[in-house]
Amino acid sequence: MVPGDTLTEKAELLSSWGYDALAVFQPLDSWDDSVRRDLVTLESRTGIRPVEFVLTDEVYGHAMSDDADLRTRCRAMYLEAASVCAEIGAVTEIEYQYGVQDPLPLFDVHQELDARQTEGFVDFYRQMLGVVTGTEGMVLLEPLNRYESRYLNLVSANLAIIEEVDHPNAGLLPDVFHMSIEEADIPAALRAAGGQIVHVHLGDNNRLLPGHGTLDWTAIIRALKDVDYDGYLNLECSTEGDPATTLPAAATFLRGLITA
């Protein structure tokens, strides 16, 4: 979303546009010690804190794959991301699966994990949590919409997994765009999640910037206030236009809702 060739350039722009932090989705093929050093020192150099870190690659989303090689490579990448989060006190997320669903689950939705699937996912989640134990790093579950995952689409389903792992570094990462597809009442679902919410992704119902769609942002922010959420709000959407114009405007819009 943010122009610039380096993390430093992006962070400096964000600072001038009214932001406090950024999420880093780093391609695995360009991840090296130099980029890691830039990430670790970013806040001290720019004032912008990296609060979310994810490594991306074609293997992403296959941690529970039946293909042993694909599963192993995906998990290794996730575990590396978790180690970074342990070092810098950021969050990362995992899902049971991620990717375009074929065929699309248009009608057979909100499928439930069976006992074997649940046990396997909980075991892997605990392995991830072991990397961040004793640090400020967090490994969160993000409910995805039905077109990107067949399972754990609802906040309630993810809360059940979080309750089972029962770990201080676990929690929920609700994404308002995904919730606009799956939840009957977004503010009610946020209130039900309550203190399990650790990080939040924002995007309107059309996955544009907040205020560029039909979601009731006043009600969404009010719900987060009602559960005393004091974490970061992370834009994960399209800028739809020149980011030098749209991103400062989005920061102003959101700050107005937060301080109202």
Active-site residue list:
142, 236
Burial 199-216 (b: 16+ CB within 10 A, else e): bbbbbbeebbbbebbebe
Angle at 76 between CA 72 and CA 80, to 5 degrees: 170
190-196 CB contacts, 8 Å cutoff, 24+ apart: 190/155, 190/220, 190/223, 190/224, 190/227, 191/223, 191/226, 191/227, 192/155, 192/156, 192/159, 193/155, 193/159, 193/227, 194/227, 195/227, 195/228, 196/159, 196/162, 196/171, 196/172
For residue 221, the Cα-to-chain-centroid distance in whole angstroms is: 17
Collapse the DSSP code of 119 into the 3-class scheme (helix H, G, I; strand E, B; otherwise coil) and give the result. Answer: helix
| Token pair listed for 250 | 């989005």
